């Protein structure tokens, strides 16, 4: 795909007139999907797709369009030329864009991911062998994801990564199920077996009569998947330079005096070097290996897109236009995972959260619900599954005053979203022990 993309870009460059410039993004994938239900294969298929997003620029005016590539050179060249001429025709009628900013220094790069994935058939057979006899439901996806950038100034960037993601549940009855995921760059049968064994243990616990606890404040353990959901909420404008400058960020209290800080153990980074997302963005700027967002509980840096840099007089750090982290990393704590139940003592063990939203954006207050397997713990032992509960808490409590510990062990969670294409977003998360966590019903 890489050389084909570059050939199209060379052709497009030859069709420009005068001072015209283009920026072009490439997005492609070759993915195998398998859907399971009742531990049987219900649907299997392969998706191969390629897209180009073309931003045509003349002076301070620009317009863009997106097209699907066929893989046939002459056909795709004709498509490109038609779109280029259409954009050229409408450009004079468009206003100048005062916030247009794109890279003019040429920084070409190539990152070729190592394809260490098993053959899809081998992975699927391993999954079936491990889960036989259980009501297993899920989707397995694996394959290559390809990203590219090119401009008419001569810059060329390419990124490929190969990953797998098994998003699955063991179902018991009604709303009772154990949800988990296994994702990464290298399939490991032993690691998957551990995931299955743990999920089956929790499934047995779910078969006990469920318990309902009154609303109030409880000591809780948030597993990495649950904490990832909370950090995912923060990603919506929490780290955005534009949201901070326009006073819209839910973390505004951290960046403006008098500052409100989180717990000293909280360090969050956009760690591009540790994720599967590319180290370049749509305007050709190169992302650093890491941007520290919060360090030891103190606000450090926002994510600054080229548009925000131009609008607010900042220097871009290569953020995408949405100014959301793609590879969010929470620094590990010093608390052993094996001691979680003993230290939790009496409280709530939360595997998953869902339906999160802001209940008070300015205060960074989040509401949401527990999902699937959550348990009541007494004297360091799980004694009963819990009915679904709603919580309402501020981040300044969860990751601030009420945070007791973060686990040493961490889990890389790859986003299972496949809307339009497989996601390259990921998080690296610990689990968190929190006191006085508020359940409202």
220 and 194 belong to one structural domain: no
Place of tokens 């007089």: 313
Does residue 167 sit in the same domain as residue 288?
no
The percentage of the chain sitting over the pLDDT mark of 90, rounded to a whole number, equals 95
pLDDT for position 383: 93
Domain interval for residue 387: 216-439
Q: Is the residue at 382 inside a domain?
A: yes
Last residue of some domain: 142, 169, 199?
Answer: 199
pLDDT computed for residue 32 by the predictor: 97
Residue at 260 is within a domain: yes
Residues 278, 172 share a domain: no
Give a yes or no: residue 377 inside a domain: yes
The pLDDT of 208-237, averaged and rounded, is 95
Rounded CA-CA distance 201/423 in Å is 30
Going by pLDDT thresholds of 50, 70 and 90, the confidence category of residue 306 is very high
Q: Indicate whether 171 and 229 sit together in one domain.
A: no
Render pLDDT for 368-400 as a digit per residue (tens, 0 to 9).
999 888 999 999 999 999 999 999 999 999 999
pTM of the shown model:
0.93
Per-residue model confidence (pLDDT) at position 229: 95
User: Mean pLDDT, to the nearest integer, of 60-84?
Assistant: 96
Over 90: is that where the pLDDT of 274 sits?
yes
Report the mean per-residue pLDDT for the chain. Answer: 95
User: Helices in 37-167 by DSSP H: which ranges?
Assistant: 73-90, 120-131
Establish if 52 belongs to a structural domain.
yes
In a domain, 205, yes or no: no
Task: Give the H/E segment covering residue 254.
Answer: helix 252-255
* CATH classification at residue 76: 3.30.2290.10
Q: Using CA atoms, how far apart are residues 25 and 283, in angstroms rounded to an integer?
A: 9
Report, as an integer, the average pLDDT of 79-106: 96
pLDDT tens figures, 167-200: 999 998 887 899 999 999 999 999 999 999 999 9
- What pLDDT, in 10s, does the model give residues 8-54? 999 999 999 999 999 999 999 999 999 999 999 999 999 999 999 99
Q: Are residues 226 and 119 in the same domain?
A: no
Parallel, antiparallel, or unpaired for β 40-58 and 61-68? antiparallel
**Average of per-residue pLDDT across 78-95:** 96
Mean pLDDT value across residues 430-439? 97
The answer to whether residue 179 is domain-embedded is: yes
Residue 47 lies in a domain: yes
| Domain membership flag for residue 209 | no
Q: Tokens 């960020």 correspond to what residue?
A: 249
Residues 231 and 259 in one domain: yes
Closest CA to 241 of 344, 184, 316, 294: 316
pLDDT, mean of residues 302-318: 97
Mean pLDDT for 316-336 is 96
Query: What percent of the chain shows pLDDT beyond 70?
Result: 100
Count of domains in the chain?
2
Same domain, 350 and 387: yes
| Same structural domain, 27 and 170 | yes
Give yes or no: residues 191 and 235 share one domain. Answer: no
Confidence of residue 258 (pLDDT cuts 50, 70, 90): confident
């Amino acid at each position: 795909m890489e050389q084909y993309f570059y050939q199209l870009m060379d052709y497009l460059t030859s069709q420009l007139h005068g001072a015209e410039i283009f920026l072009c993004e490439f997005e492609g994938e070759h993915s195998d999907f398998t859907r399971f239900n009742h531990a049987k294969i219900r649907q299997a298929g392969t998706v191969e797709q390629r897209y180009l997003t073309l931003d045509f620029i003349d002076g301070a005016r620009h317009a863009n369009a997106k097209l699907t590539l066929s893989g046939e050179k002459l056909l795709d060249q004709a498509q490109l030329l038609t779109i280029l001429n259409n954009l050229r025709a409408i450009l004079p009628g468009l206003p100048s864009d005062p916030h247009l900013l794109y890279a003019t220094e040429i920084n070409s790069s190539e990152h070729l991911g190592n394809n260490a994935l098993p053959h899809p058939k081998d992975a699927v057979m391993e999954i079936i062998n491990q889960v036989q006899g259980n009501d297993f439901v899920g989707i397995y996806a694996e394959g290559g994801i390809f990203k590219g950038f090119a401009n008419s100034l001569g810059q060329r960037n390419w990124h490929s990564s190969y990953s797998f993601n098994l998003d699955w549940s063991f179902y018991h009855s009604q709303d009772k199920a154990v949800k988990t995921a296994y994702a990464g760059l290298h399939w490991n049968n032993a690691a998957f077996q551990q995931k299955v064994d743990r999920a089956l243990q929790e499934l047995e616990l779910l078969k006990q009569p469920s318990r309902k606890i009154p609303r109030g404040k409880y000591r809780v353990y948030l597993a990495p998947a649950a904490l990832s959901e909370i950090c995912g909420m923060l990603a919506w404008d929490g780290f955005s330079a534009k949201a901070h400058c326009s006073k819209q960020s839910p973390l505004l209290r951290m960046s403006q005096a008098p500052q409100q800080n989180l717990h000293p153990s909280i360090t969050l980074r956009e760690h591009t070097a540790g994720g599967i997302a590319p180290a370049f963005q749509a305007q050709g700027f190169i992302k650093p290996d890491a941007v520290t967002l919060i360090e030891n509980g103190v606000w450090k840096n926002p994510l600054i897109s080229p548009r925000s840099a131009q609008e607010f007089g900042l220097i871009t750090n290569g953020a995408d236009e949405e100014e959301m982290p793609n590879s969010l990393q929470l620094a590990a704590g010093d608390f052993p995972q094996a001691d979680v139940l003993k230290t939790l003592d009496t409280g709530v063990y939360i595997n998953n959260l869902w339906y999160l939203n802001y209940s008070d954006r300015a205060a960074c207050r989040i509401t949401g619900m527990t999902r699937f397997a959550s348990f009541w713990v007494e004297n360091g032992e799980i004694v009963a599954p819990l009915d679904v509960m709603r919580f309402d808490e501020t981040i300044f409590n969860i990751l601030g005053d009420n945070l007791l510990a973060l686990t040493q062990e961490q889990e890389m969670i790859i986003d299972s979203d496949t809307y339009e294409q497989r996601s390259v977003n990921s998080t690296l998360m610990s689990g968190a022990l929190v006191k006085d966590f508020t359940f409202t019903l």
